[in-house]
Structure 1
Amino acid sequence: MSPLSQERLRKRDRFLDQAVREMWKYDERLRGLDVEVRFDRGVAHLTGEVDSTAQLRTARDLVGRLDGVLGVWDRVRVDGRDPVVLDLGCGAQKQYPGNFGVDLYRTPEVDVLADVSSGLPFADASVDRVFLVHILEHLIDFLPLVDEVHRILRPDGVAFVLSPWWQYVNAVADPTHVRMLDVQTIKGICRRPGSRRLWYPLHAACDGASIFAELQPLADESEYPDEAELSRFFD
């Protein structure tokens, strides 16, 4: 798999913009929802406000089904409440204004100083969204962090993962990268032998350069998807 060119990604974004406009126009499940969708290199960014988490889930699911969508990221108000969104290892850049930046080193974007490899200073089920953008590949053992994210997310929360694909040169060109990821790694994260931390894969994709995934914490084994549903993303 070769990485998609920037020109192709731009053209794909234009196609997806049109597809979403038509979907909002003709799909009764979306009509009237105050959600704006913007595409950036195949990633859908949802902002706006909805009345319920069910409405947001519907919007996310339908956008994610469009051919060519690599990820569905959102920062949407639900029932009049702003979401609590963390950017872990944000450095000097947050994914959305208003997110809480968390990092080991102080920058203007960091709101909470913490070593994310040693636990997260947040209460159980207190966070709506967590961004793990270019962070897992820097940790020798990232599973404790993944478990911590599971702990702090609310039941309808989502973790957004973005990491270099193991076969792309950027995965090995950076000497601070100590772990390599594939889409199948995401499947392994969702259900690990001996772990009670289960994840529902809302979306997973690879563009030849990066791995994208959105994961929702599960509380019970009975909620885990069957193999037919998993086959949408994984071997």
Structure 2
Amino acid sequence: MVSLARTAMPGERLRQIDDFLATAWADLVKFDERLRGVTVDVRFDRGVAHLSGEAADHDDLRLVRRLIGQLDGVLAVWPRVRVAGRDPVVLDLGCGPAKQWPDNIGFDLRVAPGVDGIADLSGSLPVADDSVDVIFTVHILEHLIDFLPLVDECHRVLRPGGSLHVMSPWWGHVNAVADPTHVRLLDVQTFKGICQRPPGTPRWYPLHAGCDGASIFADLVPLGPDEPGPVDSHLARFFD
């Protein structure tokens, strides 16, 4: 249950949580037979699990992503992993000069160091269908009056099993209203609505969603029209 009393976690506590998560993951790798031979590297930074390295196939990556997401204290799982020898195609939308990883393909409305292409994120993305593995929208959705068209565009360009990663200010924190260019307030519950839109609209499966008292996070996977949606017990992990 989201509470107005929630406050942002201090940096020292986040560092301690990272230490706990690193130990918990090391224990899983050591004792879980399903992870034998998996070579994905995991680094925790303020509750976000950054995945790199290689996976033999998409099943290995999905397993790692799911197991990490089940650890208490993980806010998001952000992968940049080679699968079966292929580098992922990663879009960084609205990146400005601050891509999440240097090799990402950066789109923004204005020219800046690191921007690879100009795109109006309130319109269509200049990207082919089913051609992208990972998309970052970090501090972007709160700047769009209607962000659902962009979410739908992300659904269109992601490959099956790809992932959309959202980070935005939490509506109850001063950062959400301190920037006059913010035009939308977001909460973890916003993504419940996105994952429960009516038939005929792009459908999403929430891998993970969380809030650290300052920012909200969501990791979403596109669903095909015939794929089953999340069961209520899965939604109950993240949403009211």
TM above 0.5: yes
* TM-score with structure 2 setting the length: 0.96
Q: Identity rate of aligned residues, in percent? A: 63
Alignment equivalent of 1:75, drawn from 71, 80, 85: 80
Q: Distance in 2 between matches of 1:105 and 1:217?
A: 28
Structure 2: unaligned runs, 5 residues or longer: 1-5
For the 8 Å contact 1:85–1:129, the answer to whether it is kept is: yes
Residues 122-181 of structure 1, C-alpha deviation per residue, up to 9 Å, x if partnerless?
Answer: 011010000010000000000000000000000110000000110011000110000000
1:100 paired to 2:102: no
Q: Partner letter of residue 75 of structure 1?
A: R
Q: Distance in 2 between matches of 1:146 and 1:86?
A: 13
Q: 1:166 corresponds to which residue?
A: 171
What is the alpha-carbon root mean square deviation over aligned residues?
Answer: 1.0
Q: Partner letter of residue 192 of structure 1?
A: R
Alignment equivalent of 2:48, drawn from 18, 28, 43: 43
Residues 19-51 of structure 1, C-alpha deviation per residue, up to 9 Å, x if partnerless?
Answer: 111111111111211111001100000000011
Q: 2:182 corresponds to which residue?
A: 177
Q: 2:3 corresponds to which residue?
A: none
Alignment equivalent of 2:195, drawn from 175, 190, 197: 190
Residues 50-75 of structure 1, C-alpha deviation per residue, up to 9 Å, x if partnerless?
Answer: 11111000000001111100110010
Q: Distance in 2 between matches of 1:193 and 1:78?
A: 33
Q: Cα distance, 1:227 vs. partner?
A: 1.3
Q: Distance in 2 between matches of 1:222 and 1:44?
A: 27
1:16 paired to 2:21: yes
* TM-score with structure 1 setting the length: 0.98
1:110 paired to 2:110: no
Deviates more, 1:10-19 or 1:139-148: 10-19
1:219 paired to 2:219: no
Residues 189-235 of structure 1, C-alpha deviation per residue, up to 9 Å, x if partnerless?
Answer: 11213542000000000111111010000012541012122111111
Q: Distance in 2 between matches of 1:135 and 1:66?
A: 27
Structure 1: unaligned runs, 5 residues or longer: none
Q: Distance in 1 between matches of 2:129 and 2:91?
A: 14
Alignment equivalent of 2:143, drawn from 133, 138, 146: 138
Q: Distance in 1 between matches of 2:169 and 2:226?
A: 30
Q: 1:26 corresponds to which residue?
A: 31
Q: Partner letter of residue 179 of structure 2?
A: D
Q: Distance in 2 between matches of 1:50 and 1:219?
A: 24
Q: Partner letter of residue 15 of structure 1?
A: F
Q: 1:208 corresponds to which residue?
A: 213
Aligned pair count?
235
